[in-house]
């Protein structure tokens, strides 16, 4: 069998189950760390429950994904996860899901591993939404999840630092309401509302124009120029205000 014939035959098997995102569907990728609880608490001694160095690694990884060949209009990261909103007209790799899954997971794993200095891996999934409201709801969901996880984490680690075992701390929090957890933190002299916003609501990353001082070599004069660069917002709003904030990044229609 000639190579061309063999190549054509084998490619049928390789691409037989290719799935693509249909036109006029919004794409959102979620990239999650694999085994990060052990990685951050046992392999590497990150501060619990939150560590600024880990946060900065996740922000840098998100920024890398927004610069790796796809047109991403908004990025969001909390804990060990990243969410990316693609431009409505994104058509890279003919919108083949296997390409997005493999490239984004690979790029995230490579970037974070370089920052960390050891192997870290991520997986990836793509959500497809037929209208804007669902896109906003998705990011609202992750924002609320960040709040819920932060409250749980602060309570858990307060108990652990107070001598509770893993099982004892988990049992102490089992079935506890948000009000109960806030009261628990108050008993340790901690007001959850006073904690940094990035811990409770995550970080939003988006393109913004900033003014910078430059120098015109022809006129030999200082000039102010505008540059488009990624901006990391660690003071995100909450609830309905966050939904309105996200809305500005959701493309309205196709070209």
42 three-state secondary structure:
helix
Mean pLDDT of 55-79: 97
In the chain, % of residues over pLDDT 70? 96
Higher pLDDT, 178 or 251: 178
What is the rounded average pLDDT for all residues in the chain? 93
In the chain, % of residues over pLDDT 90? 81
The pLDDT value recorded for residue 8 is: 83
CA distances from 187 to 50, 120, 193 (A): 20, 37, 14
The pLDDT value recorded for residue 1 is: 81
Order of strands across the sheet that contains 72-78: 121-129, 26-34, 81-86, 72-78, 203-216, 221-233
215 three-state secondary structure:
strand
The pLDDT value recorded for residue 253 is: 61
Q: Which of 59, 71, 39, 47 is nearest to 198 (CA)?
A: 59
**Residue 46 φ then ψ, to 5°:** -75, 150
Mean pLDDT of 57-76: 97
Work out the pLDDT band at 235, boundaries 50, 70, 90. Answer: very high
Higher pLDDT, 11 or 246: 246
Q: Which of 125, 113, 5 is nearest to 64 (CA)?
A: 113
Judge if pTM exceeds 0.85: yes
What contacts 75, CB < 8 A, 6 or more positions away? 62, 63, 65, 66, 82, 83, 84, 85, 204, 205, 206
Q: State in Å, rounded, how far the first CA of the chain is from the last one.
A: 46
The pLDDT value recorded for residue 254 is: 47
Return the axis-axis angle of helices 132-161 and 166-173, rounded to nearest 10°: 130
Cβ–Cβ under 8 Å, residues 225 and 209: no
pLDDT in tens, 73-85: 999 999 999 999 9
pLDDT in tens, 145-198: 999 999 999 999 999 999 999 999 999 999 999 999 999 999 999 999 999 999
The pLDDT value recorded for residue 75 is: 98
| 94-113: b (≥16 Cβ within 10 Å) or e | ebebeebbebbbebbbbbbe
CA distance 98 to 101: 5
CA distance 56 to 58: 5
pLDDT in tens, 120-141: 999 999 999 999 999 999 999 9
């Amino acid at each position: 069998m000639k190579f061309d014939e063999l190549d054509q035959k084998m490619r049928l098997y390789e691409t037989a189950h290719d799935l693509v995102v249909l036109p006029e569907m919004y794409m959102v990728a979620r990239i999650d760390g694999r085994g990060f609880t052990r990685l951050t608490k046992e392999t590497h001694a990150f501060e619990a429950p939150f560590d600024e160095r880990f946060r900065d690694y996740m922000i840098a990884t998100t920024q890398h994904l927004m610069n790796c060949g796809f047109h991403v209009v908004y990025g969001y990261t909390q804990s060990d996860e990243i969410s990316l909103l693609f431009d409505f007209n994104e058509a890279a790799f003919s919108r083949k899901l296997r390409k997005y899954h493999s490239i984004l997971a690979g790029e995230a794993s490579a970037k974070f591993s370089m920052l960390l200095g050891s192997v870290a891996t991520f997986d990836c999934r793509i959500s497809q939404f037929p209208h804007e409201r669902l896109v906003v709801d998705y990011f609202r969901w992750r924002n609320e999840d960040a709040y819920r996880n932060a409250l749980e984490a602060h309570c858990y680690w307060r108990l652990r630092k107070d001598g509770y075992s893993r099982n004892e701390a988990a049992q102490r929090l089992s079935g506890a309401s948000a009000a109960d957890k806030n009261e628990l933190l108050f008993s340790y002299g901690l007001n959850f509302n006073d904690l940094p916003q990035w811990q409770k609501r995550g970080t939003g990353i988006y393109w913004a124009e900033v003014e910078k001082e430059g120098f015109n070599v022809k006129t030999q004069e200082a000039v102010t120029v505008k540059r488009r660069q990624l901006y990391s917002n660690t003071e995100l709003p909450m609830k309905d205000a966050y939904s309105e904030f996200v809305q500005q990044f959701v493309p309205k229609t196709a070209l």
